[in-house]
């Protein structure tokens, strides 16, 4: 499957077939063209088998007419295979073993996904914040290596070289969190060091709540300008963004305001946008990790289940204010369709597709 000219997408974890079908239907309803798919390492060990659940789900998505961007070699504790102890990344020997195993995993997955028509790959996930991800409230990674720039740099180079070997014409990017890094002032350094391996700079755009101002234009422009500068002018892809509907001052009205602003801003300044979730995450996705025994959400349980525009029962979220119904899902669909209608007749507006 060829890549779309402009990427409008949503993130997705492996899920039951009925839930996947629901997500695919909503993606088509909204006018999206892409699903960014989490490829858990532990579930992908037999991906060469066409009965593998990840293989079947990715094929099902592409057969529906949507493109897939897989996330390769995410080092989160709950995605690692049993052969890797999440807390073992402390010494040089285990770090080299990890890189070798990750490269083998990426080679296997890329060979399979290339045959399924995948042309764009995300390598790792928010590696600039991997050390921070060891700490509460995240606790998504374990092992001191995630704080070490030399380890992360070698991992990035090795994984990118591996994908390039298996799929020479593929587009590669990695996503950089805009607000947290190891430490924050190192974001520029990470980008200038790592971006030589990538085609796009992935911007994960999340903002603190501002109770008095609901204008994300200046913040987004600042980050996109910096990301382009720090990546030697490479295109910026909004690889994650979203706004939860409750928790810590968030609400449905603000979620709708965010959606209304971010979509035209993304179209104007980036080459694509992935919205974090269309549908709230079900409770089964919030259970403690089998490997770590940790609650993967901790204090984030007030936010993490509520990034969707549609609740867990399948009902679009809404609130009535001054006799006006505010529905973030309707806002999302309206603005995506307005942006995609502008693309008709423009065969390649950004000139980036291989």
Q: At residue 50, does pLDDT exceed 60?
A: yes
Query: Highest mean pLDDT range out of 48-62, 90-104, 211-225, 337-351?
Result: 48-62
Nearest by Cα to 267 from 348, 204, 343: 343
pLDDT in tens, 317-333: 999 999 999 999 999 99
Q: What is the pLDDT of residue 350?
A: 47
pLDDT in tens, 250-300: 899 999 999 999 999 999 999 999 999 999 986 544 444 444 433 444 556
CA–CA separation, 116 and 29 (whole Å): 24
- The domains found in the chain, sorted by start residue, are 7-343 (3.20.20.80)
Residue 122 has φ and ψ, to the nearest 5°, of -95, 125
Within 8 A by CB and 6+ apart from 103, the residues are: 158, 159, 162
Q: What is the pLDDT of residue 304?
A: 82
Mean pLDDT, residues 15-36 taken together? 97
Q: What is the pLDDT of residue 256?
A: 96
Is 92 in a helix, a strand, or coil? helix
Q: How buried is residue 318: exposed, middle or buried, by Cβ count under 10 Å (0-12/13-18/19+)?
A: middle
Q: What is the mean pLDDT of the chain?
A: 89
Q: How confident is the model at residue 303 (pLDDT cuts 50, 70, 90)?
A: confident
Q: At residue 352, does pLDDT exceed 50?
A: no
Q: At residue 210, does pLDDT exceed 60?
A: no
Q: How confident is the model at residue 341 (pLDDT cuts 50, 70, 90)?
A: confident
Residue 174: C-alpha distances to residues 119, 196, 256 (Å): 14, 11, 28
Q: What is the pLDDT of residue 90?
A: 82
Q: How confident is the model at residue 54 (pLDDT cuts 50, 70, 90)?
A: very high
How many CB atoms neighbour CB 150 within 10 A? 10
pTM of the model: 0.92
Mean pLDDT, residues 21-38 taken together? 97
Q: What is the pLDDT of residue 282?
A: 65
- Whole-angstrom Cα Rg for the chain: 19
Mean pLDDT, residues 31-56 taken together? 97
Q: How confident is the model at residue 351 (pLDDT cuts 50, 70, 90)?
A: very low
Q: What is the pLDDT of residue 212?
A: 52
């Amino acid at each position: 499957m060829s890549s779309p000219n402009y990427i409008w997408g949503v993130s997705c974890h492996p899920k039951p077939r009925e839930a996947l079908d629901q997500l695919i239907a909503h993606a088509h309803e909204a006018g999206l063209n892409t699903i960014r798919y989490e490829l858990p390492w532990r579930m992908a060990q037999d991906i060469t088998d066409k009965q593998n659940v990840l293989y079947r789900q990715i094929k099902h998505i592409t057969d529906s007419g949507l493109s897939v961007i897989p996330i390769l070699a995410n080092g989160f504790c709950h995605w690692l295979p049993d052969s890797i102890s999440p807390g073992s990344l402390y010494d040089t020997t285990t770090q080299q073993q990890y890189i070798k195993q990750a490269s083998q995993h990426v080679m296997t997955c890329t060979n399979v996904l290339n045959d399924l028509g995948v042309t764009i790959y995300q390598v790792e996930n928010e590696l600039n914040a991997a050390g921070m991800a060891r700490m509460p409230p995240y606790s998504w990674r374990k092992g001191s290596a995630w704080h070490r720039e030399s380890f992360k740099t070698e991992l990035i180079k090795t994984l990118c070289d591996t994908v390039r070997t298996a799929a020479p014409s593929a587009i590669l990017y990695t996503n950089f969190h805009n607000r947290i890094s190891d430490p924050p002032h190192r974001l520029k350094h990470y980008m200038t060091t790592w971006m030589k391996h990538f085609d796009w700079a992935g911007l994960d755009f999340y903002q603190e709540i501002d109770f008095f101002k609901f204008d994300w234009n200046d913040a987004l422009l600042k980050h996109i300008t910096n990301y382009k500068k720090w990546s030697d002018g490479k295109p910026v892809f909004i690889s994650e963004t979203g706004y939860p509907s409750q928790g810590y001052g968030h609400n449905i009205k603000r979620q709708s305001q965010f959606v209304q602003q971010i979509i035209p801003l993304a179209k104007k300044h980036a080459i694509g946008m992935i919205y974090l979730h269309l549908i709230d995450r079900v409770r089964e996705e919030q259970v403690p990790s089998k490997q770590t025994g940790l609650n993967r959400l901790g204090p984030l349980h007030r936010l993490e289940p509520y990034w969707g525009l549609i609740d867990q029962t399948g009902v679009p979220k809404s609130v009535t204010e001054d006799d006006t119904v505010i529905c973030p899902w309707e806002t999302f669909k309206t603005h995506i369709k307005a942006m995609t209608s502008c693309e008709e007749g423009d065969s390649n507006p950004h000139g980036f597709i291989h």
